[in-house]
Structures are given as structure tokens and as C-alpha cells.
Amino acid sequence: MNRIASLFEINHPIVQGGMVWCSGWRLASAVSNAGGLGLLGAGSMYPEVLREHIRQCKAATTRPFGVNVPLMYPEIETLMQIIVEEGVKIVFTSAGNPKLWTSRLQAEGIKVAHVVSSSRFAHKCEEAGVDAIVAEGFEAGGHNGREETTTMCLIPAVRRATSLPLIAAGGIATGEGIAAVLALGADGVQIGTRFALSKESSAHANFKQLCLNLNEGDTQLLLKTLSPTRLVKSPFADAVKEAEQRGAGVEELRALLGRGRAKKGIFEGNLEEGELEIGQIASLLRQEESVAEILSDLLNGYQRAVEKLRAGVFVC
């Protein structure tokens, strides 16, 4: 039995990453209903909004689902209290120290996975006693590791560093990609970009259309001194890049970013002024699909890849 599937009691070890402004109850419940693990993205929700999404998700699926909590969330105590009160059994933490919340959540019967971008942080996860690790390469959409380690290099390094159940993330959008990271030592995958552009994602149609037309090289990692973020090239990204190139300090960058930029871009579809977060792998995606179509394509692609490798002539 697959370790991720048995840990979370799901059919397929495919996690839909928690994503600000994309992963509300519609997306999370659709992924869970299709046999994967859907995650609500608490990072863009006020505590009571999260409560509402948890309730809607419970009404829309009887399958396990979870909540992603970026640990720099301002009202984290209230948010975690709601997660416990509402009986959520799976939490994926990110962007912070796994020691802060892991044992408190586990004491409530919650399984905890933590997102890392280096094997050094994988060690911290072991010390914190997490149930699973998500190792995310810098191809990924959203906030990234400073070291810019790619999934191809990160997964074998984290596999060597820990024996914990390991979920690979970053640049995976096909069954072939799943086969590749399993070969590198992962037990399961976390996919963001492909689900962010699905029919059930709450991202704005403008954002989805833009991302579905991207080519290789159309995203870049910016804001390295604040919090490295992969952004689509756009007028706002150009302004950030220009400021960074002339050596703007953290305060100036923070002022330029202001508040609500990601909401403006991803949720309101303002392609000029918004922060447009998406992964490199968007360049492979060309149409908006339903979650059921995505899951079926991933599983078929995985089978194809395995058969191809089995019949392969690499070793002559």
C-alpha cells in the first residue's frame, strides 16, 4: 500500500496544494471526491471565512480533505482553533517552523504535513515529528525557497535526509511527471498549478486564460529579499524587477507590494496591477479542465509512463 494513500486514507497519493485565492471548498471537495486529497487554502481566508469553507467542504464530500496553513498567518491561534473545532483531521503547514504547531495539532488527532524547500528543513520536520513532508522545488507556483533548488535535485536529497513519507511538489502536472518523482524517491505528489487553472478553482477567468497561454520562460522568481515568489511577467512584475535591479530596500519593496496584490491578480483578474502567481509548468497547460478530467489524465499518464519504462531499451 502506498504510504501517503494509507496515511491520509485516500485512493491516489495526489494532493492538491493549498493555494491562496484558488482552493476554496469547490476545488478541495472535487479533488477529494476524485480520490485525491483536496486542501483548503487558508492563507487567503479570514478565520470565519475558513470556517464556512470547511462546512461547505464537509457538505460536498464524505472523503478526507485538509487545510493548508501558511504559518506567518496573522491570526493563527484563531485559525487553528477553528480547524480543531470543525473537526478537520489533516493540516498542511508551510512558510514557517514546523516545531511551532505540529505537536499541538497532533494532540487533537490531526495529521500534519509540512512544506520544505531544502533537506535542512526536512531534518527540522523530523525533529518536529511531522507525519509527512512536502518537498517543493523552485519551479513551483507561489512562494519559493531562497536556494532555488529544483525538484529534480531536491527530492533525492530530501529522500536521503529522511525516511518520512515524502510528497514531491513543483513542476508536476502530468502522469509522466508523477512517475519521475516516484523514481527519485517520493511517495506521492502535490500539484498546484494544474489545479489552479481547473474549472473548480476560484481564480478569475482572466488569470486562468493568461496562464493557459504562457510559454517557457514567462514566469520568474522575484521578491527574493522579502519572500521569493514566482510571478508571471507583467507590468507589476516589471515594476518589482526594476526596483530590485536598482537595489531597492526591503521597505520600498514592501510599499510597492502593498496589500491585497495577490487577490487583485488571481481573484479579481487585474493582469496589470495584480500579483500573478503560477508555476513554470503552466507552459504545458492549454485548456481549463475539470478536476475529474485532470485526475483521470494523471492516472492514465502514469500508467503510460510506467509501461514505457518497462519496455524501455535504456540499458542495452
47 binds ligand FMN per the rule CB under 6 A: no
Smallest distance, Å, CB 204 to ligand FMN?
A: 11
Shortest Cβ 262–ligand FMN spacing (Å): 7
Distances from the Cα of 30 to the Cαs of 35, 171, 176, 177, 217, in angstroms? 9, 21, 22, 22, 31
CB pairs under 8 A, 24+ apart, for 79-84? 79/42, 79/47, 79/50, 80/104, 80/105, 82/47, 82/48, 82/50, 82/51, 82/54, 83/50, 83/54, 83/110, 84/108, 84/110
In 3D space, the residue among 133, 113, 110 whose CA is nearest the CA of residue 123 turns out to be 133
- In the three-class reduction of DSSP (H, G, I as helix; E, B as strand; rest coil), residue 14 is classed as strand
**191 belongs to the binding site for ligand FMN (CB under 6 A):** yes
Q: Which has the closest alpha carbon to 25: 12, 11, 36, 39?
A: 39
List 32, 117, 190, 234, residue binding ligand FMN (CB under 6 A): 190
Say whether residue 38 binds ligand FMN (CB under 6 A).
no
For helices 175-183 and 291-310, the axis angle rounded to 10 degrees is 50
Q: Which residue is nearest to ligand FMN (CB)?
A: 192
Residues 16-35 contacting ligand FMN, CB under 6 A: 17-20, 22
Q: Interface with ligand FMN includes 275 (CB under 6 A)?
A: no
Backbone φ and ψ for 228, nearest 5 degrees, come out as -50, 125
Least Å distance, CB 286 to ligand FMN, is 16
Please select the residue that binds ligand FMN; options are 115, 161, 184, 240, rule is CB under 6 A: 115
> Is there binding between residue 131 and ligand FMN (CB under 6 A)?
no
Nearer to ligand FMN, 164 or 281 (CB): 281
Question: What is the nearest approach in angstroms of ligand FMN to the Cβ of residue 153?
Answer: 15
The footprint of ligand FMN (CB under 6 A) covers: 17-20, 22, 41, 43, 68, 70, 94, 115, 136, 139-142, 169-172, 190-193, 196, 266, 277-279, 281
